[in-house]
Amino acid sequence: MTTQTISTPEVYQGQFGDFTIDQSDRIGVIIYRTGLIVAAISFAIGSALVLFNNNPTTIAALTPLYACFSLALGVSLITIHIYMALLHRLLQVFWIIGSITAVVFAFSSSEPLAVTIYNQPLTLFGVGFTFVALTGIFFKEAFCFNRLETKVLTLTVPLLLLGHLVGILPTQGEQILLGIWAILLLVFAARKSVQVIPADIGDKSVFAYLHKQKSAKI
């Protein structure tokens, strides 16, 4: 006679009751982190091309790299766990605005997308929304996990973009900030890949409570 061991999911104590983490939760976290990794690698490659191999051929390659970065970021924004549903939706709307604007500029301009954005800083009022959404992820991660790289990125991204928009940063300063951004984004994605999965899921009892509150109002 053989016995079969049935594994039961671990029960976690949440703020509004007990909860368990199922396979779909874990898959969601894996997708979120994979999106971050793809976005970080795409951004790092593009930044390296700009900083170390700046020529017309490599500049043209920035457009597909940016598309890969933006799509991966969009996937992460779909699967990220944020207690405030309104904030979650707002970050997704920012990404949509930035993505649509980037597509419009990419197809309407005779120059590569990166050149268009660099030479016409006002385009950041549209494309920049993508990076607002990215900064939102950094802020959320800094608040939840108190990590140094996300705190620095929360300041670095708007500093670089706003500095370029108003023209107060010298070229060397922009290059330094871009390098810091690319390196710390890789560090952030790498550290997320080895973090325990339940940490990214959060307290599911809070999500359940907020859903009940919303249903009750409806």
Say how many domains are in the chain: 1
Res. 11: pLDDT tops 90: no
- Determine what percent of the chain is predicted with pLDDT higher than 90: 71
Kindly state whether residue 213 falls inside one of the protein's structural domains: no
pLDDT in the model for residue 65: 96
Kindly state whether residue 29 falls inside one of the protein's structural domains: yes
Q: How far apart are CA 37 and CA 30, in angstroms?
A: 10
pLDDT in the model for residue 201: 84
Res. 60: pLDDT tops 90: no
Q: Residues 156-199: pLDDT tens digits? A: 999 999 999 999 999 999 999 999 999 999 999 999 999 998 88
| Residue 120 CB contacts under 8 Å (≥ 6 apart), including other chains | none
Res. 210: pLDDT tops 80: no
Helices (H), the chain: 23-52, 56-79, 85-108, 113-119, 124-145, 148-166, 171-193, 197-201, 204-217
- On the 0-12 / 13-18 / 19+ scale of CB atoms within 10 A, 20 is exposed
| Residue 112 CB contacts under 8 Å (≥ 6 apart), including other chains | 59, 60, 62, 63
Name the band, by pLDDT with cuts 50, 70 and 90, for residue 6: very low
Kindly state whether residue 12 falls inside one of the protein's structural domains: no
pTM: 0.89
pLDDT in the model for residue 1: 39
- On the 0-12 / 13-18 / 19+ scale of CB atoms within 10 A, 102 is buried
What mean pLDDT do residues 206-212 have?
A: 67
Kindly state whether residue 1 falls inside one of the protein's structural domains: no
Kindly state whether residue 103 falls inside one of the protein's structural domains: yes
Q: Residues 113-138: pLDDT tens digits? A: 999 999 999 999 999 999 999 999 99
Parallel/antiparallel/unpaired status of strands 17-20 and 11-14? antiparallel
Domain holding 165, by residue range, is 24-201
Q: What is the mean pLDDT of the chain?
A: 89
Residues, the chain = 218
Q: Residues 76-104: pLDDT tens digits? A: 999 999 988 899 999 999 999 999 999 99
Kindly state whether residue 85 falls inside one of the protein's structural domains: yes
* Secondary structure class of 11 (helix, strand, coil): strand
Res. 72: pLDDT tops 80: yes
Kindly state whether residue 216 falls inside one of the protein's structural domains: no
* Cα-trace Rg, the chain: 20
Kindly state whether residue 139 falls inside one of the protein's structural domains: yes
Query: At residue 193, what is the residue type?
Result: S
Res. 5: pLDDT tops 60: no
pLDDT in the model for residue 3: 42
